[in-house]
Amino acid sequence: GKLAMTNQEKRTLALNVNKLGENEIMQVLEIIKKSGGKKRQAATVDGDEELEIDLELLDTRTLRALEKYVNSVLQPKPTAPAKAGAVSRGKAGGGPGSALYSAVQRAVGGVGS
């Protein structure tokens, strides 16, 4: 089996998830949805349309899958030359009207069904 995540690892994972762009967040939600059962409730949108992912509700396998995905996204690809604008990705607007929120709501809306 896989090693359970330490609290430190969960914190790091949570911070990294916060750096993701809209498409990556959709993928994170897919990973959580695939894990099924109670774990589907781990991703919720609160009244401020803020996405909350409760890592405590996820099992080790799901957490490690998320960690692997997030790391693969955030790790700079050594082959490609760094783009000038690459550093600021993840700074995409996070206001209630942003595309991220509407996309997240659509995804989360289908989680409980």
In this structure, are residues 4 and 60 in contact, taking their beta carbons and an 8 Å threshold?
Answer: yes
CA 81 from centroid of its chain's CA atoms: 26
Q: Which of 5, 7, 65, 2 is nearest to 32 (CA)?
A: 65
Write 76-80 long-range contacts (CB < 8 A, 24+): none
Q: Up-side HSE of residue 75: CA atoms within 13 Å toward CB?
A: 9
pLDDT in tens, 10-36: 999 999 998 998 889 889 989 988 887
62-93: pLDDT as tens digits: 999 999 999 999 987 666 555 555 444 444 44
Q: Supply the pLDDT for residue 68.
A: 95
